[in-house]
Amino acid sequence: MTAEAPLVENKSKYIPVTGVQLPDELMQFVERSGWRQVAFEVDPDNDRKLMITINGARYPTVLQQSYGSGIINPNVDQLRQYVGGMPPQTNLDAPLAVITSVMSEGRCGANCRECEYAFGHVNSLLGAHSFAPGLARYTDVNRMALIVNYAYVYALQKGLLQEGDQIRINGLGAGDPAFNPDTSKIIEYIASLPFVAASRWSSTFTDTKFNVVEGLKEGLIRAKEINPYHKARVQASIWSTDEQIRWEHVWQDGHGGNLVPFAQLAQLFQEVQPITGFTSSVSFVVHRNSVIDEKVLRQNFSPDTTWVTLRPVIKRYQNSDMFPMDSEEFASLFFRIRNEGFNVVYMPTIDEAEQANPITGMI
């Protein structure tokens, strides 16, 4: 039987994983799912970067150690050290984060500037998903189950976890929940896993037929019902406080659909906090020409329900016109937002490769 055609050409250097034994229940799950092709690969230069292939669709998965509390509201001296190239310390006592993808590698339904999964100049399938070559396939519940369970088994057998340790799931890799009809089911499933302590779900909040606002809210409600101890959060990647600039970022070619407005995002944050017990967040990739107005943030979002995450561009990305913001200007922005009453998180990049790409991960 012929497998599905690969959605993207495999130009990566990933190689087959060795030394990891799949438990019987995971092997049986794969067999019951009826998939004709399943492969587990690893980056030979970084054993925390995995690629899981299911019927030709490739799902990048990254294992990352959490950062310590120093990234939350750092003082001015700490912030200068971070921006100057001294990364925050990781927290070895915190759960290992597994960065999962809500879509496979390939072209996303959105066309975000600088994103390696940007749709390009063809937006006629806004809100749709397809098996056409090149267009990313959304991650359904069964595929997410394989990805998460394998990542957990892999981390245990590689000594990244000990028996009884829990992990965090961050749906921040390839794709966007706005283009995934299974968003609520995925969040519900993740919360049901006893080895998952928390999850975070990030979206550009593109207004598609799948209604990401209701999908996320429904998923959080179900998660709380299934597991009251699971810590689920929502993150909005909004790029700018100027709604037009935000739209132009997501639809860089000038053609696309609507975005969920700030007022509706703020309402979502207010509604989900009593459900989850946690605040949501808005995140920004910060560069020299960023338009981020702390007053507009405060007018639209409440510090009681919203945290702010800033991720600075460290260096220019390829031929991009995005250059780093001056470190003092970045510090000024950071503390102006703090002065509006928000908790502000400095989000570092993982390594030099990610410092060169301001979009990858957004974690």
Q: What is the CATH number of the domain that holds 138?
A: 3.20.20.70
The whole model's pTM is what? Answer: 0.86
Residue 362 covered by a domain = no
- Does residue 202 contact residue 190 with C-beta atoms inside 8 Å? no
Say if CB 212 and CB 182 are below 8 A apart: no
What is the tens place of the pLDDT at every residue in 118-166? 766 333 333 333 333 467 888 999 999 999 999 999 999 999 999 999 9
Q: Whole-angstrom Cα distance, residue 17 to residue 58?
A: 15
Residue 143 parent element (H or E): helix 141-157
Helix (H, G, I), strand (E, B) or coil at 5: coil
Summarised one tens digit per residue, pLDDT across range 279-313 is 999 999 898 889 999 999 999 999 999 999 998 88
Nearest-CA neighbor of 169 among 157, 156, 188, 159? 188
Question: By three-state DSSP, how is residue 361 classified?
Answer: coil
- The backbone torsions φ and ψ at residue 120, rounded to the nearest 5 degrees and listed phi first, read 100, -140
Total domains in the fold of the chain: 1
Is 288 within a domain? yes
User: Closest Cα to residue 251, out of 204, 304, 192, 210?
Assistant: 204
Q: Is 4 among the domain residues?
A: no
- Structural domain range at position 97: 15-355
Determine how β-strand 15-16 pairs with β-strand 196-203: unpaired
Q: Domain for residue 7, yes or no? A: no
Count of all residues that appear for the chain in the document? 363
Q: Are 233 and 276 in contact (CB under 8 A)?
A: yes
- Give residues with Cβ within 8 angstroms of 274, minimum separation 6: none
**Direct distance between the N- and C-terminal alpha carbons of the chain, in angstroms, rounded to an integer:** 39
Residue 94: which pLDDT band, with cuts at 50, 70 and 90?
Answer: confident
Q: What is the pLDDT of residues 15-55, one digit of tens each?
A: 999 989 999 999 999 999 999 999 999 999 889 999 999 99
**Band (320; pLDDT cuts 50, 70, 90):** low
58: in domain:
yes
Determine the 3-state secondary structure of 50 from DSSP: strand
**Mean pLDDT in the chain?**
84
Q: What residues does 280 pair with on adjacent strands?
A: 306
Asked if residue 2 belongs to a domain, the reply is: no
Task: Tell me the torsion sign for CA atoms 165, 174, 311, 344.
Answer: negative
Going across the sheet that includes 306-312, the strands are: 15-16, 38-43, 46-54, 57-64, 96-99, 167-171, 196-203, 231-237, 280-286, 306-312, 344-346
Asked if 206 and 264 touch (Cβ cutoff 8 Å), the reply is no
Query: What gap in Å lies between CA 109 and CA 132, rounded to an integer?
Result: 13
Contact 268, 217 (CB under 8 A): yes
Q: What does the H/E/C string look like for 153-173?
A: HHHHHCCCCCCCCCEEEEECC
Q: Say if 99 falls within a structural domain.
A: yes
